Amino acid sequence: MNGREQYLFDLNGYLVVRSVLKDTELGALRQEVSDYGVDAALEKHSYLHAGFPREYYDDAEWSGADGYRYLQDSYLLDWGPAVRSLVAHPKLGPYLEALVGAEYRLDHSYGIFARGRTSSHALHNGATPFDPTQTYIFQNGQMYNSMVVVQFALEDVGEGDGGFCCIPGSHKSNFPLPADFADLDDLDEECRAQVVHVPMKAGDAVIFTEAVTHGALGWRGAQDRSALLYKYCHGSVQWEKASPFVAGDHEWTDRQRRALTGPYIGGRPQVG
Ligand SMILES: O=C(O)CCC(=O)C(=O)O
């Protein structure tokens, strides 16, 4: 992570890393997503979150929140080798070390898919009120994040297409998000100007801290939205009960096994 990237992440709470994925990787990922049934499911419902365990479905608060539906009770990492290859992706390791620490671990992963017009996903998080599980601290000349998200774009996300958005700098805000920001679809001009949409090319990744206030603008792209999210915590931290969200007995590299190890810190090896 070079000086410019460090500056931008510290300033904004997110960073776009261009061309992380090669065309061959993108092709294999798209195939696995389609084989899993996402294409077919998007014919029935235009906004899907996929990769969560069954228990999420039974909670009325979560089912269909912000218009999205859960797609079957599968884990993303069980879909195939291409989605598994994104765990501790070698091009992103240096970013995770700089942002989470060399003993980072994958907490969970899932996919977000959209076709046609969808509702927005409300803005959430921010530095205030303080939440130790989703915080950003700069100390000893270093950035510390409780959790960072790597979101890969499998299709282009153009200006005005919708999808991931955030309020840059809000990972350091001293006041809570005002109620004026509650409805992303109905912001006044001044509030709308604070919300930044992040266009990406297929193969790019946006890395953001869970501490930054973020959400998603309603999808308007002519193409599908296809995003895979991998959420990393410090090696001592576990966010999701079923972490790391994988059921099958798969082949992993040594680096990936270290990144997939459950939370502990005494003598924990660096992912490397
Ligand atoms: O990109 C999106 O659709 C929003 C993702 C999000 O809210 C999250 O990762 O917590």
Nearest CA to ligand 1 atom 6: 215
Give the pLDDT score at 171.
98
Best residue for ligand 1 mutational test, from 112, 204, 219, 231 (most atoms within 8 Å of Cβ): 112
Nearest CA to ligand 1 atom 3: 216
Instruction: Identify the bridge partners of residue 112 per DSSP, sorted by sequence position.
Output: 49, 227
pLDDT in tens, the chain (272 residues): 999 999 999 999 999 999 999 999 999 999 999 999 999 889 888 998 888 887 776 554 445 556 777 777 789 999 999 999 999 999 999 999 999 999 999 999 999 999 999 999 999 999 999 999 899 999 999 999 999 999 999 999 999 999 999 999 999 999 999 999 989 999 999 999 999 999 999 999 999 999 999 999 999 999 999 999 999 999 999 999 999 999 989 999 999 999 999 999 999 999 99
Give the pLDDT score at 236.
93
> Within 13 Å of residue 85, how many CA atoms lie on the same side as its CB?
13
Decide: helix, strand or coil at residue 259.
helix
Give the pLDDT score at 61.
43
Amino acid at 160: G
Decide: helix, strand or coil at residue 51.
coil
Give the pLDDT score at 62.
45
Residue 174, C-beta contacts closer than 8 angstroms, at least 6 positions apart: 127, 128
Give the pLDDT score at 58.
55
Assess whether the C-beta atom of 153 lies below 6 angstroms from ligand 1.
no
Determine if residue 100 is left, alpha or beta; phi over 0 gives left, psi from -120 to 50 gives alpha, anything else beta: alpha
Give the pLDDT score at 60.
45
Q: Rounded to whole angstroms, how far apart are CA atoms 73 and 70?
A: 8
- Beta-strand relationship, 105-114 and 69-71: unpaired
One CATH from 3.20.20.70, 2.60.120.620, 2.40.50.140, 2.30.30.30 for 3-260: 2.60.120.620
What are the two backbone dihedrals, phi and then psi, of residue 152, each rounded to the nearest 5 degrees?
-90, 135
What's the whole-model pTM score? 0.95
Q: How far apart are the first and last CA of the chain?
A: 15
Q: What is 159-202 written as a DSSP string? A: TTS-EEEE-TTGGG-SSPPPGGGS-GGG--HHHHHHPEE--B-T
119, two tokens: 């509702």
Domain spans of the chain? 3-260
**H or E segment at 208?**
strand 205-209
Ligand 1: atom nearest CA of 229 is: 9
Residue 48: burial class (beta carbons within 10 Å; 0-12, 13-18, 19+): buried
Assess whether the C-beta atom of 230 lies below 6 angstroms from ligand 1.
no
